[in-house]
Amino acid sequence: MNLPDGLLGGTWTIVAWVLFVPLAILALRRAPWRVLGDSGRLNFWLGLIVSLILLWNMKAGVKPGLSLHLLGAGVMALCFGWALAFVGLCLVLAGATLNGVAGWEAFAANALLMAGVGVAVSRLIHRAAERFLPRHLFVYVFINGFFGSALAAVAVGLGASLLLALAGVYDVEYLTGEYLPYFLLLGFSEGWLSGMVMTLLVVYRPEWVSTFEDARYLKNK
């Protein structure tokens, strides 16, 4: 997480930008901007971005690129869909980068890891739950809010470790022994916080959660 400039080689940085630019354009085009016409949802989206900027600045780490912090991708994806979530997390990354937490040269790689992988895993978990599990409030909160968010954080850690290993920045043995195990603890924290937030939202502000409908999850339950 939060890769600094110069850590990856030039080839890896170029590849990251080549992958990031079309994905960002697609997200900007697919994002349902009309939902932000509601002042409540707009304020929530912006407030979530500001809150995550603060969380991303509260990081722990001992070596360049080996930092840990809460992600928020699960909440973003469940509340706004993949496109707005990706754009929002890129804005979070931009704020964190302006504060010196990450580098602008490595912006694309960081965005693909934290926004791309995080949102993709959260979306996959949600779609799998929709298809294979009963539509129940407990299932929604536990599987999507807790488990999906936790798995998204762990997946980002795996993706970052794989990238750093392939780029030759750190040895696989060091990453598996000194970095990856902490993502299990981070995943639990991510899941607990995200599950709590989603519980409050579906109870008090279900209209702010695009993937939740009272008629589907509460009617006749």
Within a domain: 4: no
- Of 137, 96, 81, the closest CA to residue 2 belongs to 96
Q: Which residues contact 26 (CB under 8 A, 6 or more apart)?
A: 83
Higher pLDDT, 2 or 75: 75
Q: Is the pLDDT of residue 218 over 80?
A: no
When pLDDT is cut at 50, 70 and 90, the band that residue 6 belongs to is confident
Region 89-114: mean pLDDT is 92
The span from the CA of 88 to the CA of 116, in Å, is 11
CATH number at residue 111: 1.10.1760.20
pLDDT-derived band at 219 (thresholds 50, 70, 90) equals low
Q: In the chain, how many domains are there?
A: 1
Average pLDDT value for residue range 55-84: 88
pLDDT at 220 over 70: no
Question: Is the pLDDT reported for residue 23 higher than 70?
Answer: yes
Q: Judge whether 2 lies within some domain.
A: no
| pLDDT above 70 coverage of the chain, percent | 97
Q: Is residue 211 part of a domain?
A: yes
The dihedral sign for the CA sequence 174, 179, 180, 185: positive
Number of separate helices (H) and strands (E) present in the chain: 10, 2
Question: pTM of whole model > 0.75?
Answer: yes
Question: CA-to-CA distance for 145 and 166, rounded, in angstroms?
Answer: 32
Contact, 65 vs 109, CB < 8 A? Answer: no
Which pLDDT score is estimated for 221?
Answer: 56
- pLDDT band at residue 72, thresholds of 50, 70 and 90? very high
Domain holding 213, by residue range, is: 10-217
Is 126 a member of any domain? yes
Q: 5 in a domain, yes or no? A: no
Average pLDDT in the chain = 91
pLDDT tens column, 168-207: 889 999 899 888 888 888 999 999 999 999 999 998 999 9
Pull the structure tokens for residue 204.
């008090």
Contact 149, 73 (CB under 8 A): yes
Task: Give the separation between CA 135 and CA 152, rounded to whole angstroms.
Answer: 21
Beta strand 67-68 with 60-61 is antiparallel
What percentage of the chain reaches a pLDDT higher than 90? 68
Q: How far is CA 171 from CA 72, 127, 158, 163, 177, in A?
A: 28, 35, 14, 11, 10
